[in-house]
Structure 1
Amino acid sequence: MTIPSPRSRKKARIEIIPLIDIVFFLLATFVMVSLSMVKMQSVPVNLPVASTSVPQDRQDYAAITIAEDGSLFFNKESVSPDQLIAKLRKFKEENLDPKIFINGDEKSYLGHAIAVLDDVRKLGISKVAIETRPKSSAAP
């Protein structure tokens, strides 16, 4: 025989509000981390410094990198000057509004950059930017 207790027995409950808080926190964290990830399409080089450097929109673009020794890279892939023209032509066909970012080591020759810029313009690509570092982040 059971004796009834004056206190009512509480049933176990799953509290959903703290669970929702945790899910939203994880969702917000994931969104912030994914937005902060930058799509790097170029080979790391020591960029020249410019006081008028302005951040650019980096969506749907191709990066051409000129290394210190003059070697060329198209989106991290080593290419010859002839291969670069073919890749640029293909990139222009695949994109309605092609954008090209040219970045070169500050010790590379200006002639290499001018030759690349000339090749880009011969193909009719007019949205071209030369990447630099802002003066404040320059190495001493």
Structure 2
Amino acid sequence: MHGSSRGSAVKRARIEIIPLIDIIFFLLATFIMVSLSMSKNQGVQVSLPTASSAASLGDQQELDKAVTLSVNEKGEVFYNKEKITIAQLPMRLSTLKASSKDPRVIVNSDAGADFKYVVSVLDEVRKIGIQKVGINTDKK
């Protein structure tokens, strides 16, 4: 009998999971490596978020301990509301780092401030070695 399928077994198509998992992990590793290499190309490692995507810097207790550095549109620098010069900033930040084991700095900048003043402030913070720095923005 020609039409009989008794003697032959029917093979079903199977999807092999192991090669798919290998491909997924390869793509994940590639994505991570590319994103890490892109972040190293930035001169100052801060992300300036748009107002709608601004994230919280931490809980209120941590924010109360943070020092606020403000730059107005004239380029004047304020250390917790006290007007200081850029030359005085390293001494103040050194004192902060010596008195606190985990110092935090929040930078406020006027929208009309020249960006070179903000970069100068961030540069002084980085020279002292303070790692936890946030840039304050207003949400729309």
Q: Under a length normalisation based on structure 2, what TM-score does the superposition of the two structures give?
A: 0.60
CA distance, structure 2, for counterparts of residue 51 and residue 61 of structure 1: 23
- The runs of at least 4 aligned residues of structure 1 exceeding 3 Å deviation read none
Unaligned runs of 5+ in 2: 1-48
TM alignment of 1:103-122, pairs within 5 A: 103-122=108-127
**How many residues in Structure 1 have an aligned counterpart in Structure 2?**
88
Aligned to 1:74: 79
Alignment pair present for 1:60 and 2:65? yes
Q: Percent identity?
A: 34
Aligned to 2:93: 88
CA distance, structure 1, for counterparts of residue 107 and residue 98 of structure 2: 19
Alignment pair present for 1:124 and 2:125? no
Higher helix share: 2
CA distance, structure 1, for counterparts of residue 53 and residue 115 of structure 2: 19
Unaligned runs of 5+ in 1: 1-47, 136-140
Q: Secondary structure at the match of 2:106?
A: strand
* Aligned-CA RMSD value: 1.5
